[in-house]
Amino acid sequence: MPTQFDPPSGTRDLLAQEFERREQAFAVIRSVYGRYGFEPLQTPAFERLEVLMGKYGDDSDKLIFKILRRGEQEASGEADLALRYDLTVPLARVAAAYGSQLPSPYKRYAIGPVWRADRPGKGRYREFVQCDLDTLGSASPLADAEVLCAQHDALVALGVTDFTILLNSRQVLAGLLEAYHIPDQIGPRVLIVLDKLDKLSPAAVVAELQDLGLGEEAGDLVRALTAADSSDRIRVALKPSEQGEAGLAVLDDLLALVSTELPPGRIVFAPRMVRGLSYYTGPIWEHVAPGIPGSLGGGGRYDHLIAQLGGPDVPATGASLGIERILMLPGQEAGPLRRLDVAVAVLDEQYARDAYSFAVASRAAGLRASVYLGSSGKLGKQLRWAADQGARWCVLYGSAERAAGTVTVRDMTTGEQTPVPAAELTGYLASAAGTTLAGTTSAGTTSAG
């Protein structure tokens, strides 16, 4: 039940635990993309309206969030800016704007939110993050191999191991239409129907193909594409088609390149994988995982799209990871949130200044530390607070400690309490943390500043 305090429909507030989980995933992806020599690009949240309109098709144009003119022109009700709808159109604009100032080829990644006024649903948001990597300006299959392997490595680095990359190409699909004598004018519609093979039964797809005017070849085509040995059958079927054969040669070249990096069986030739987007011009691929509908990511070569989007006419290849879907996979759950390593109790208001100085001493040991900021001085409440913060230690200081010149360091796991000379707190904690924190991830600790 939405309240007046909920974020707008289709958007989320990311509290600490969820935020950290996502940031860690983005850091992993950035690190892998960087290792392949892709460099970051960040463009503004909004673009001039004319940069976006007419680039995505009429249905998508309706989903663009438009921003009202400001000042006196606001009353006109007209828009002049719009929130970015993807990261590719801004890339095309940047390629046009900066031209030779960019390296050639330009290998860039971009990880950032995009906005679409889609109907919100499970895993479908109006504000969501895209993780794109693209190489503009290289027609080499080496460029496709890099994009494909960088994306693969990012998934593996995220802990996703049970997935397959389906590989196909636009040339192979065109060759298939040719080999099965499907008239050019219905070719695109035939491909759209074939794309339904993972949702509909073969018989239903055959029926739809026959509705388009296909005869016996509909059944032949669907049987060949759904057979257990379909990739071998299609290799044979493509022989009469020049572009089919050429497409296969490109795919085999790409398979040979990536076989240096990918584990055996990770990537397969999948002649029935169509991939909906019409702009691809060469190899196309999709990452599928068992039990997950749709794909974790995909990509392909799209040699003329950048020009169509307003940029220079350069060959291009790129890919995208569906981070929202990846984060829903088993094993991707957020870990427990540790806000503090050291919680410092304030047992007596008159010792607040001492307590603060113990937090300072704890931070000097490179640890996350804070004093209790509440008004109740009760020990039980402050220990609960320390536990809620995920603290490993709680520092206690009262009149007894003051008299002895010590602080009491309580291990929050064992309950064991150790008196430590007040002046030696930093050294004591650094040493204790060096022992008990060893082997944990850096997310749980911070290094000394």
Residues of span 77-96 touching a second copy by CB under 8 A: 77-79, 81, 83, 93-94, 96
E strands, 355-438, are: 369-371, 393-396, 406-411, 417-421
Q: Which is nearer to a second copy, 232 or 252 (CB)?
A: 252
Sign of CA dihedral 258, 143, 166, 215: negative
Please choose, out of 175-183, 185-193, 255-263, 429-437, the segment that lies near a second copy by the rule CB under 8 A: 255-263
Q: Exposed (0-12), middle (13-18) or buried (19+): which is 352, by Cβ within 10 Å?
A: middle
Least distance (Å) between residue 275 CB and a second copy: 23
Q: Which residues contact 392 (CB under 8 A, 6 or more apart)?
A: 341, 342, 411, 412, 413, 433, 436
Smallest distance, Å, CB 374 to a second copy? 7
What mask of x and - would describe binding to a second copy in positions 292 to 331, judged by CB under 8 A? ------------------x---------------------
Q: Does 111 bind a second copy (CB under 8 A)?
A: no
Which of 59, 100, 216, 260 forms a contact with a second copy (CB under 8 A)?
A: 260
Distance of alpha carbon 266 from the chain centroid: 20
Considering only residues 53, 292, 356, 430, which one is a binding residue for a second copy as defined by CB under 8 A?
Answer: 356
Q: Which of 325, 368, 392, 410 binds a second copy (CB under 8 A)?
A: 368
Element containing residue 114 per DSSP (H, E)? strand 106-115
Residue 154's nearest CA partner among 57, 25, 282 is 25
Note whether 229 binds a second copy by CB under 8 A.
Answer: no
290 touches a second copy by CB under 8 A: no
Note whether 103 binds a second copy by CB under 8 A. Answer: yes
Residue in 14, 236, 249, 379 binding a second copy, rule: CB under 8 A: 14
> Footprint of a second copy on residues 382-401 (CB under 8 A)?
388-389
Report the b/e string of 274-301 with b at 16+ CB within 10 A: bbeeebbbbbbbbbbbeebeebbbbbbb
Region near a second copy per CB under 8 A, out of 182-190, 252-260, 403-411, 422-430: 252-260
Query: Considering only CA atoms, which of 296, 272, 274 is closest in space to residue 284?
Result: 274
Task: Please identify, using beta-carbon distances, which residue of 220 and 253 lies nearer to a second copy.
Answer: 253
Distance CA 240, CA 9 (A): 53
The site that binds a second copy (CB under 8 A) totals a number of residues, namely 105
- What would you report as the CA-atom Rg of the chain, rounded to the nearest whole angstrom? 29
Q: Does 236 bind a second copy (CB under 8 A)?
A: no
Span of 27-35, 216-224, 284-292, 417-425 interacting with a second copy by CB under 8 A: 27-35
- Contact between 172 and 282 (Cβ < 8 Å): no
Contact call for residue 54 and a second copy (CB under 8 A)? no
In whole angstroms, the minimum distance from the beta carbon of 295 to a second copy comes to 23
- By the rule CB under 8 A, 375 interacts with a second copy: yes
Convert residues 173-212 into a mask of x (bound to a second copy by CB under 8 A) and - (unbound): ----------------------------------------
Q: Does 132 bind a second copy (CB under 8 A)?
A: no
Q: How far, in whole angstroms, is CA 278 from its chain's centroid?
A: 23
Tokens 């196909």, located at residue: 168
Position among 132, 134, 146, 208 found at the interface with a second copy (CB under 8 A): 146
Q: Which stretch binds a second copy (CB under 8 A): 30-38, 159-167, 184-192, 224-232?
A: 30-38
Residue pair 421/406 in contact (Cβ under 8 Å)? The answer is yes
Q: Output the six-digit token pair for 106.
A: 């330009």
Q: Is residue 1 a contact point for a second copy (CB under 8 A)?
A: no
Burial of 442 (0-12, 13-18, 19+ CB in 10 A): exposed
Q: Using CB under 8 A, pick the residue from 53, 60, 120, 142 that binds a second copy.
A: 142
Q: What is the DSSP string of 51-110?
A: HHTTSS-HHHHTTPPEEE--GGGGGGT-EEEEE-S-SHHHHHHHHHHHGGGS-SSEEEEE
Stretch that binds a second copy, among 14-22, 178-186, 287-295, 419-427 (CB under 8 A): 14-22
Q: Which of 207, 292, 327, 360 binds a second copy (CB under 8 A)?
A: 360
- Rounded to whole angstroms, how far apart are CA atoms 294 and 281? 22
